[in-house]
Amino acid sequence: MKTKQILALIISMLIFLAGIAIGLYFNIRAVWSDLEATSFWGYPEALLYDRSIETEAKLSSLRCPVLITPSDAKFLTVKVVNKQAQQIKPMLQISVSDPTQKENIQRNYFEPNLAPQASEEITYLLTSQNFIDQRIIYVRVFLMNSEYFPPSETRHCGVFVSKLGNLNSGQLIGTLIASALLLVGLGLGLWWHSSSEQMKRTKYIFNRMLWLAAFMLITAIMVLLGWHLLAIIFLLLTILLIFSILENFVMDSINKQHEPIV
């Protein structure tokens, strides 16, 4: 293999990995923020929480923004559903990180009047006031049958904080994902164009690059949908594939350098 061809392969791989790095930044920050938020409980809620108590209502969903910028204000939404055949008035506590408050927690209480089998969505505005160390917002939601009951159902989420110029959160997410896909696509195209006929026949490294791009994109989709467990699984697969590709690429480059130059 000619030196020029090897150089082209190296450049295409670097472009491809730059796109993967941008995608990994977004995916890892989002997944890690949610994992960090699992430890956000507050006292005495952590001691009082008792999941064995049957709740009259149900936390149907908790939807949080994935990312927020210092100039943004974004809503989280909690949906509460009445499972009973009679009207109920449960207590909902939304605990949000706030460095200005005791324990860094701001507690907000809501008592929705729910008709039989009805549901209600409750929103709460997240702002820069909720940033912890300018990098993350923690959210913990508790559901109680009433103010006299301990919490018996809970949900959580973590929102990571990032900034790029004057972009808002939606523009920043779009920029990160579009940049990652553009660089990944360009890297794949250049790699295929620079590959030898034998490499095109075997597609050994190219197929792994395709799988890596697919895992990165799927992880981003899972993150945006709030399916964090699936996002963690695909993120781990992505990291394992990166090591596999790099190992094979280095070994292949070393072997090709020892081939006679035609």
pLDDT digits (tens, 9 = 90+) for 61-91: 999 999 999 989 999 999 999 988 899 999 9
191 vs 162, more confident: 162
State the residue for tokens 């034998």: 198
Q: What is the mean pLDDT of residues 174-199?
A: 89
Span 213-222, mean pLDDT?
94
The pair phi, psi for residue 123, each rounded to 5°, is -110, 155
21 or 262, which is more confident? 21
Domain spans of the chain? 3-32+167-257, 40-161
Check residue 194 and give its pLDDT: 81
Per-residue model confidence (pLDDT) at position 26: 95
Largest Cα span, the chain: 84
Predicted confidence (pLDDT) at residue 114 exceeds the cutoff of 90: yes
Q: Is the pLDDT of residue 13 over 80?
A: yes
Average pLDDT in the chain = 89
CA distance 262 to 253: 16
Out of 2.30.40.10, 1.10.10.10, 1.10.287.610, 2.60.40.10, the CATH code matching 40-161 is 2.60.40.10
Most confident segment among 101-105, 150-154, 236-240: 150-154
What does the pLDDT read at residue 81? Answer: 95
User: Is a pLDDT exceeding 50 seen at residue 213?
Assistant: yes
**Cα separation of 27 and 52, whole Å?**
34
Percentage, residues of the chain above pLDDT 90: 69
* CB distance 139 to 37 below 8 Å: yes
Residue 92: the pLDDT is 95
pLDDT at 262: 46
What confidence score (pLDDT) does residue 246 get? 73
Q: Is the pLDDT of residue 258 over 90?
A: no
Closest CA to 63 of 134, 127, 152, 126: 126
Helices 228-257/3-36 angle, 10° precision? 160
Mean pLDDT value across residues 125-136: 91
Cα 149 to its chain centre, rounded Å, is 33
Please give the residue that has the higher pLDDT: either 256 or 213: 213
Distances in whole angstroms, Cα of residue 25 to Cα of each of 28, 31, 208, 230? 5, 10, 20, 17
187-198 average pLDDT score: 83
Q: Would the pLDDT of 261 be above 60?
A: no
